[in-house]
Structure 1
Amino acid sequence: MLNLRTARLFAACADHGTLTAAATALNVSQPAASKTLGQIEAALGGALFERAGRKLVLTRLGEAMLPRARSLLQQAADLEAEARRWRRGEAGALTLGTGPAIAYQLLPETVGRFLQSHSGVRLTVRAGAAAELIELVARGQIDLAAAHVGNVAPDPGLVVRRLPAQRMAAAVRSGHPVLSGGALTDYPVAGATLPEALRREPLAWGAVPAGVVCDDYTLLARAALVTDHILIGPEPVVRHASVVHGLIVLDVPVSDRPVEPALIYRKSAPRSAARDALCACFEAVAREGDQHNSPTRFSAAVMPDSENS
């Protein structure tokens, strides 16, 4: 029977020309090598080598079978190399789910850093709200979620690696009425789907008119730029949007509860060097923050106009 062990002996005999040299190369005894070669020839139904003294010369059958034996050995070597790349995180596939704020703030720089050293990994990114992504992680449908989870108790079956907490912030377009004394309560907000803990609480300035809910901060920022909607979101996201889109960050409290971004994966998932490397990139980018943004801040009225007069 031709298997990896016998294929190695067959190829070694062809390469070295003698059974003794082949046995030495494979670190087996000469009698054991001779017995194995006899078993291969019996299984294949013919001689693979002609013996000229101690010299081995391929027969017609041996010439036909040798490329197949080499192909088997090459496939095994390729399989082992692929497994090593997977273990080191240099190859394979990784599915990441990301919430809207992280997709807008951290994801571009994180993915750029990750792919610099892991370009062989096939990375699939899908967006969604935090609760949806966490459920997909728990069911094993995605490998890693990066989302604002709030300060809720984590599922005991999940690993939760928390990133720095962020307070909520708000921004408006230049010329917005709140910049000249208008009441915040008079204007709708534009924001992403919030974690459950935040959705249960009103904004610091109370109830507001119905606004825009969208898990795309570029669209939300554009909506705030051309309407009287107030953009709300994690402060780093709002600061970045203010720089990119020319919005003005308001110096007002938005919520007493911070948002808490985190990286989430299953405890029972197989060890993945690629996943660990992507987590490390997320953590490094989150620590560094968005230092280059320094938007203008403006204090806005929190109370209705009738109470500010």
Structure 2
Amino acid sequence: MLTLRNARLFIACADSGTLTAAAGVLNVSQPAATKSLAQLEGALGGTLFERSGRRLTLTALGEALLPRARALVQQARDMEAEARRWRSGDDGLIRLGAGPAVAFSLLPDAVKRFYGSGNAARLTVRSGAAGELIERLRRGELDLVVADRGDDEADPGLATRALPDQSLAAAVRPGHPALAGAPLEDFRIATATPPERLRQFPLGWNAGAPGIVCDDYGVLARACAVSDHILIAPAPVMARILAEHALVPLSGEVSALVVRPALIWRADAPASAAREALCACFEGVT
């Protein structure tokens, strides 16, 4: 019989590679873990692992069923979390992940709209690289991510709603040698964690590897104000930076790359009126 207990054991065995390690993760004895795994394989009518000494390797059946086991355990976590929020009266909590560009440019106006319209939901925000945030979303640690969506719109496990694409812009400090005609390729760039697509759409002047990578555009702007690095940022981010920092924009196309921000959540996540209201606020920011 399939239960949450032996589904967790299945996952722990797959992740750790041995029954001993899986038993330790779940705080059960090895004989109990061995018995539970045998019961699960009997109920499913096939072996989930090949045994080689103490090592466990997924069979074809195990590979096919592991995603379902993970989904089952995640749904149980979701149910427990939702029940806790109802018991505590905290059902309006939204755990938001914001990519670097979103955190600097779109987030302040979206939050202003959200609370200005009378929403009382509590909001916690985690900022970081898009890939890291999306992994946390998949693990159920975040409810919504607003970040460069990359290729994740093709992931059936995620629901996405596109926001307007953003082109890239460049800026330097006043008196920068590039403003007097020095070749741009002589200077390193400063940017947030670049999307993987930057490999297909290199910067227009054959720029080298980034000299500074930081997911806080405020830090990047201040660093470029006192160095010869060239700041690269999405156009909405750059507009805010130029209004707040003494930097000078560089003219011309930076790259054919566009940043593709989107609202992203797990396709199987419970419906949330507060999450939908926050999404509408992001969509209303221009």
Query: Which whole-Å CA distance do the structure 2 matches of 1:248 and 1:148 have between them?
Result: 25
**Percent identity over paired residues:** 54
Tell me the residue number matched to 2:184.
184
| 2:72 counterpart residue number | none
Aligned residues of 1:96 and 1:142 also touching (Cα < 8 A): yes
CA distance in 1 between partners of 2:243 and 2:160 (Å) = 31
TM-score by structure 2 length? 0.66
Whichever residue aligns with residue 216 of structure 1, its letter is D
Q: Which runs of 5+ in 1 are unaligned?
A: 1-81, 289-309
CA deviation profile, 1:230-260 (whole Å, cap 9, x unmatched): 0001111112111110211111211112110
Q: What is the SS of the residue equivalent to 1:126? A: strand
Q: Deviation per CA, 1:157-186: give whole Å up to 9, x if none.
A: 111111000111101111111111011000
TM-score, length basis structure 1: 0.61
Q: Per-residue displacement from partner, 1:20-53 (whole Å, max 9, x unpaired)?
A: xxxxxxxxxxxxxxxxxxxxxxxxxxxxxxxxxx
Partner of 1:142: 142
Q: For 1:175 and 1:207, locate their aligned partners in 2 and report how far apart those are by CA, in whole Å.
A: 20
**Aligned mates of 1:193, 1:159 — CA distance in 2:** 23
Corresponding residue number in structure 2 for 1:243:
243
Distance 2:154 2:132 in 1: 14
Q: Write out the 4+ residue segments of structure 1 that deviate beyond 6 Å after TM superposition.
A: none
Please, which moves more after superposition, 164-173 or 208-217? 208-217
Query: How many residue pairs align between the two structures?
Result: 200
Partner of 2:195: 195
Which residue in the other structure is 1:266 paired with? 266
Amino acid in the other structure paired with 2:245: H
Q: What letter is aligned with 1:202?
A: P
Residues 112 and 240 (structure 1 numbering): CA distance in 2 closer, same or farther, change over 3 Å? same
Q: CA RMSD in A?
A: 1.9
CA contact (8 A) 1:118 1:274 kept: no
Cα shift readout 1:97-154 (whole Å, capped 9, x = no counterpart): 0001000001111112112235521211001111111111122210000001235653
Show the 5 A alignment for 1:27-106. 92-106=92-106
Distance 2:267 2:119 in 1: 26
Residue 50 (structure 1) aligns with? none
Larger Rg: 1
Give the structure 2 partner of residue 230 of structure 1.
Answer: 230
- Asked if the contact 1:154–1:160 (Cα under 8 Å) also holds between the matched residues in 2, the reply is no
The amino acid across from 1:232 in the alignment is I
Q: Mark the CA change 1:165 to 1:209 in structure 2 (over 3 Å): closer, same or farther.
A: closer
